[in-house]
Amino acid sequence: MTRILFLPIVVLLLLASKCAEVEPPDTVIFKSQDFKFNYSIDNPLASIFLNYDLKEISGIECSLDDKYLYAVNDEKAELFVLNISTGEVIEKINFGKPDDYEGLCMVNNLVYIAESNGNLKAVNPITKKRVATYDCRLSRKNDIEGLAYDISTKSLLLAAKGHSKLDGHKKGKRSIFKIPISDFKVEKKPFLTIDLEKSIKSLIPNVNIDTETVGILNKRVKEFAPSGLAIHPLTKDLYMLSARGKILIVLTPDGNLQAVVFLNKNENQQPEGICFKKDGTMFISNEGASGNGKLAIFSMAR
């Protein structure tokens, strides 16, 4: 088994396809040998169609007391407060002018909202006011989509769908940038950089896969571009979504790839947001490409 882990992914999958044919499940998962993916991703606790105002739902985040879910629409400067169980809109908070709003996270009592150019808006959901705006020295070329708060370093983590460096891009690589909340200035060197095509070679699939499926999955890996980011409250692993390719990846806190989950495309038209309750319950939001946005809720296996 140890030797198999170091075989190139194509060789591994070709060998697997020669074994007894197994019909792939809705979701194919590649993972490291000792990693357990604790969610039944094809069997959510609930799958909820949201208010039409959230057709282009982007980032999501749980309130500090886990009673509410915060969400942002891609284009309008509106912070939505949702019932965390039903997805019902409780209220909307206007925080400025229309723009390209993406990631969402909570730090202390403030909700931070990232624009695609890396700028941040801080909103107080109690007073219903925007309290600060930060120019974090990123750009639209970086195309920021994911946002999470790392309490261990008191820093915001911003996942870039575009350029993997502040001043350029390395083909095939995607980066997460770090911004300490002490000064809100981005660190020039990315917090971590991911080459998914290379890193997935160290993982093994959960089922045997035929050669046709191999080609399909390889294409999806090449499309990987972060659209959502969250830190698991219990394991501290990084969970990152990609709307392109319909992928969820899991990384250790220091950036080692643990799992690649190929999401069911029928259930995930455009996965954009991800967050967790303190008990590990996971939420994934999808834009409504041809209808209302959708929220899926997953319990964590113990």
Query: pLDDT value at position 34?
Result: 93
Mean confidence (pLDDT) of the chain: 91
State the pLDDT at residue 18: 38
Domains identified in the chain and CATH numbers: 2-298 (2.120.10)
* pLDDT tens sequence across 19-76: 333 334 558 999 999 999 999 999 999 999 999 999 999 999 999 999 999 999 988 9
Q: Residue 6: what pLDDT? A: 38
Which pLDDT band holds residue 9 (cuts at 50, 70, 90)?
very low
Q: Is the pLDDT of residue 198 over 80?
A: yes
pLDDT bin (cut points 50, 70, 90) of residue 233 is: very high
75: Cα within 13 Å, side-chain hemisphere: 5
Can you give the pLDDT at residue 23? 39
Percent of the chain with pLDDT over 70: 91
Work out the average pLDDT over 138-143.
96
pLDDT at 290: 72
pTM (predicted TM-score): 0.90
pLDDT band at 269 (very low <50, low <70, confident <90, very high): very high
Q: What average pLDDT does range 124-138 have in this prediction?
A: 96
